[in-house]
Amino acid sequence: MIREQVASSNIRSLGYDAASETLEVEFISGSIYQYYNVSEALHEQLMQAPSKGQFLNSYIKNAYPFSRTG
């Protein structure tokens, strides 16, 4: 999955696959997580959020199934 670098103190890059509704998050620490069943609209809101880390923690982190991939 292709990830786009973002301006964040906690997140290095974000990627999204619309076909599988999978959000991929690479953290500054180097950890990579995939979150499943994330709608395209929610991904767009995340990309527009002034604080991507805060948005991720508030709306995605404990609300969607995930796995650590890296």
Tell me how far apart the alpha carbons of residues 19 and 10 are, in angstroms, rounded to a whole number.
27
Which whole number is the average pLDDT over 48-59? 97
Please give the average per-residue pLDDT across 54-60, as a whole number: 98
Q: Which two tokens stand for residue 48?
A: 């527009």
Q: How many domains does the chain contain in total?
A: 1
Structural domain containing residue 45 = 3-68
Q: What is the DSSP string of the chain?
A: --EEE---SSEEEEEEETTTTEEEEEETTS-EEEEES--HHHHHHHHH-S-HHHHIIIIITTTS-EEE--
- Tens-digit pLDDT profile for residues 1-31: 899 999 999 999 999 999 999 999 999 999 9
